[in-house]
């Protein structure tokens, strides 16, 4: 399976045109109502908002065609914790290479099956010119020379894009571009090294990243405790229908295990 072997896969045409258009309208409204503009602290990412910013995102989180794709890959009971709307401004720099996994000390950290995946929906067609996704296939499983150089992949210095000569911003010999059409779905292993090209266009480029645990029941107690800790609170003024859709996907954990403290990549001890 591509997700297991390469660390990512693309499903075309998952969102309907009317739903995509509603999502674009909501994102445009959120951008207008918060006129603070892109923050210098997140120059490399762009504007970031929580998926709890509008109840319409409940429909995206629970979108059946996407959950059906997870199911077809053997993940029948996925859970959902958190999501982000990431809008890259026109003429903005590349996003640095990073992974999004955070429990490398867990015994399951190097398993073939992902403990967590991103579901990414781009709201515009993407290309090398407007900041499409880039990935290093296989880097979710195999050590890559970049792992030795990226340090903390979410450091403030990288987010501020202070030094674009750093390796975290470099072109890699083993990278692959992932241009998509608006409404396609990219599913990726949270361990995968990924980045995005600079947005050289004059238009905003928005992606919505949703974090799912494809097989929550199989996770260790400490990872479960960590997952539950990062669930985004559903706003109390959301309609009951939207709240119910999201709540039904939230994982629960009733044990006493200590959540891991977020940690950095370490080489798989079994392959040393
Ligand atoms: O902005 C992008 O294209 C990628 C976003 C990303 O890497 C993430 O959400 O982890």
Say how many domains are in the chain.
Answer: 1
194, 26 in Cβ contact below 8 A?
no
- Distance of alpha carbon 19 from alpha carbon 69, whole angstroms: 18
Q: Is the pLDDT of residue 153 over 80?
A: no
Q: How far is CA 133 from CA 9, 80, 128, 148, 178, in A?
A: 12, 22, 8, 22, 5
Which pLDDT does position 270 carry in this prediction? 83
Lowest mean pLDDT among 24-38, 77-91, 102-116, 208-222: 24-38
Q: Indicate the DSSP class of residue 4.
A: H
Lowest mean pLDDT among 120-134, 153-167, 232-246: 153-167
Task: Please state, rounded to an integer, the average pLDDT across all residues of the chain.
Answer: 94
Q: In what order do the strands lie in the sheet with 205-213?
A: 8-11, 185-189, 117-122, 205-213, 79-88, 47-50
Which pLDDT does position 156 carry in this prediction? 83
Residue 196 Cβ contacting ligand 1 at under 6 Å: yes
Confidence of residue 149 (pLDDT cuts 50, 70, 90): confident
The mean pLDDT value for 78-87 works out to 97
Which pLDDT does position 181 carry in this prediction? 98
Give the range of the structural domain holding residue 254, as residue numbers without chain letter.
2-271
Residue with tokens 């990226």: 150
- Distance of alpha carbon 247 from alpha carbon 212, whole angstroms: 13
Q: Is the pLDDT of residue 272 over 70?
A: no
Of the residues 207, 208, 211, 230, which should be mutated to test ligand 1's pocket, given the most ligand atoms within 8 Å of the CB? 207
Query: pLDDT, tens digit, for every residue of 60-76?
Result: 999 999 999 999 999 99
Which pLDDT does position 209 carry in this prediction? 98
The mean pLDDT value for 233-239 works out to 98
Which ligand 1 atom lies nearest to the CA of residue 132?
3
pTM: 0.97
Q: What is the CATH number of the domain that holds 152?
A: 2.60.120.620
Which pLDDT does position 35 carry in this prediction? 67
Residues 6+ apart with CB under 8 A from 166: 96, 158
223, 37 in Cβ contact below 8 A?
no
Residue 86 Cβ contacting ligand 1 at under 6 Å: yes
Compute, in angstroms, the gap from residue 46 CA to the centroid of ligand 1. Answer: 10
The mean pLDDT value for 244-257 works out to 98
Which pLDDT does position 166 carry in this prediction? 86
- Distance of alpha carbon 78 from alpha carbon 217, whole angstroms: 9
Compute, in angstroms, the gap from residue 269 CA to the centroid of ligand 1. Answer: 28
Confidence of residue 262 (pLDDT cuts 50, 70, 90): confident
Query: pLDDT, tens digit, for every residue of 85-125?
Result: 999 999 999 999 999 999 999 999 999 999 999 999 999 99
């Amino acid at each position: 399976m591509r997700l297991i072997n390469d660390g990512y896969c693309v499903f075309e045409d998952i969102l309907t045109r009317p739903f995509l258009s509603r999502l674009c309208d909501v994102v445009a409204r959120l951008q207008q109502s918060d006129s603070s503009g892109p923050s210098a602290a997140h120059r490399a990412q762009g504007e970031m908002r929580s998926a709890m910013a509008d109840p319409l995102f409940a429909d995206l989180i629970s979108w059946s065609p996407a959950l059906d794709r997870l199911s077809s890959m053997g993940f029948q009971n996925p859970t959902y914790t958190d999501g982000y709307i990431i809008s890259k401004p026109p003429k903005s720099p590349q996003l640095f290479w990073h992974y999004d996994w955070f429990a490398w000390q867990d015994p399951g950290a190097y398993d073939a099956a992902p403990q967590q995946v991103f579901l990414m929906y781009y709201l515009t067609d993407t290309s090398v010119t407007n900041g499409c996704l880039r990935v290093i296939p296989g880097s979710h499983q195999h050590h890559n020379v970049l792992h030795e150089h990226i340090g903390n992949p979410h450091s403030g210095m990288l987010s501020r894009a202070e030094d674009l000569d750093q390796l975290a911003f470099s072109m890699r010999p083993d990278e692959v571009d992932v241009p998509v059409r608006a409404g396609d779905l990219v599913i990726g292993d949270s361990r995968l090294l990924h980045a995005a090209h600079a947005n050289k266009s004059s238009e905003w480029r928005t992606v919505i990243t949703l974090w799912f645990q494809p097989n929550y029941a199989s996770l260790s107690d400490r990872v479960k405790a960590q997952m539950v800790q990062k669930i985004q609170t559903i706003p109390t003024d959301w309609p009951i229908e939207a709240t119910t859709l999201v709540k039904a996907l939230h994982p629960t954990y009733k044990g006493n295990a200590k959540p891991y403290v977020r940690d950095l990549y370490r080489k798989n001890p079994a392959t040393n």
